[in-house]
Amino acid sequence: MGGTRLNNMKPTIFISRMIPDRPLQQLKIACNVTVWEGEMPPTRRELTAAIAEVDGLMSMLTEQVDAELLDAAPNLKVISNYAVGYDNIDVAAATARGIPVGNTPGVLTEATADHAFALLLAAARRIVEGVAYVREGAWKTWNPIQLLGYDVHGATLGIVGLGRIGHALAKRAQVFGMKIIYHGGSNEAYARDTNAVQVDFETLLRESDFISLHTPLTENTYHMIGADELAMMKRSAVLVNTARGGVIDTDALVNALQRGLIGAAALDVTEPEPISADHPLVHLPNCIVVPHLGSATRATRERMGMLAAQNLLAGLRGEPLPNCVNPIVYAKREA
Ligand code: GLV
Ligand code: GLV
């Protein structure tokens, strides 16, 4: 066997994709680290083999971590998801096995809100169509009725899920002179701080000029935006999704965009994800699709990595994770 005696005493961890250098170096001090270096995620079979003997797993949102996978990793003491969302993990299965699961809230809030607002502005002012227009050589003169979009100032923004990211988006919208309504999320300080008015879901759908989704994907939010909800929206409504693709029924959205039932959509996340280049959604002029970039800045991804590393190291030491999504595992241990 390779490695020194000391190295052999270090816990072993698997990281399912290359991460920024700073958190990686920090983990290497304390652990024997294996990083999956492929651009594509490990296949199910590769992942199963890779975690057979590890003490810790750092997973990405591309990995489905379920009971079957966990049973293939009998030594596993902690799962650290490199994301705030954790719909890719069967948390109940981890809890049943006494395994704490960590995520990375907070550190990506502002970056994700920036991204949602960038998509909102881009869709409202038809930035992507404008770029294509110039590239195609269609720009021959100035035209009073060409590529007209929607006013953002003075418009009503409906936020579905006024949590951390929804609130950070509301702060941006406020300085743009938008009126803010929201449904879901019950933090009164967030609402007061941004003059956001709580409304029922149907009112939000009917009254918003822009709708931005900020809910986790759960059984309750799966396809929360379907044909009926799209039909209630204004014909000029712009729908922004930086949450999870599964919150929207994709087929219903394609239909609504094709028939002009809503004005436009701007999507950072899709169902399925990734979406193939020949999918109709990708070719609709009134739809912008970008490849899940909400937290994709250098500084934010490094902060996510540091938090994910802290979660992993705490779990390996048997200490509570700084950000644990199933703290009930600790109660179970003491019982
Ligand atoms: C990204 O989508 C995340 O959940 O962090
Ligand atoms: C998660 O929802 C976050 O805002 O960090």
Q: Which helix (H) or strand (E) covers residue 21, if one does? A: helix 21-30
Mutate to test the pocket of ligand 2, among 86, 159, 160, 165 (most ligand atoms within 8 A of CB): 165
Which homologous superfamily does the CATH classification assign to the domain defined by 12-107+298-334?
NAD(P)-binding Rossmann-like Domain (3.40.50.720)
Could you identify the atom of ligand 1 that is nearest to the CA of residue 82? 5
CA angle 322, 324, 328 (to 5 degrees): 125
Distance (Å, whole) CA 308 – CA 285: 38
Where do you find CATH 3.40.50.720 in the chain? Answer: 12-107+298-334, 109-289
Residues near 69 by Cβ (< 8 Å), separated by ≥ 6? 44, 47, 48, 51
Cis, peptide link before residue 272, omega less than 30° from 0: yes
84 lines ligand 2 (CB under 6 A): yes
Structural contact between residues 104 and 83, judged by C-beta atoms closer than 8 angstroms: yes
Tokens encoding 115 = 């991204």
Report DSSP state, residue 276: P
Active site residues: 244, 273, 292
Using the 8-state DSSP alphabet, how is residue 273 labeled? S
End-to-end CA distance of the chain: 39
Q: Which CATH number fits domain 109-289: 3.30.465.10, 3.30.360.10, 3.40.50.720, 3.20.20.140?
A: 3.40.50.720
Residue pLDDT tens, the chain, 335 long: 444 445 568 999 999 999 999 999 999 999 999 999 999 999 999 999 999 999 999 999 999 999 999 999 999 999 999 999 999 999 999 999 999 999 999 999 999 999 999 999 999 999 999 999 999 999 999 999 999 999 999 999 999 999 999 999 999 999 999 999 999 997 899 999 999 999 999 999 999 999 999 999 999 999 999 999 999 999 999 999 999 999 999 999 999 999 999 999 999 999 999 999 999 999 999 999 999 999 999 999 999 999 999 999 999 999 999 999 999 999 876 65
pTM of the model: 0.94
DSSP secondary-structure letter at 302?
H
Measured distance CA(24)–CA(54) in Å, rounded: 16
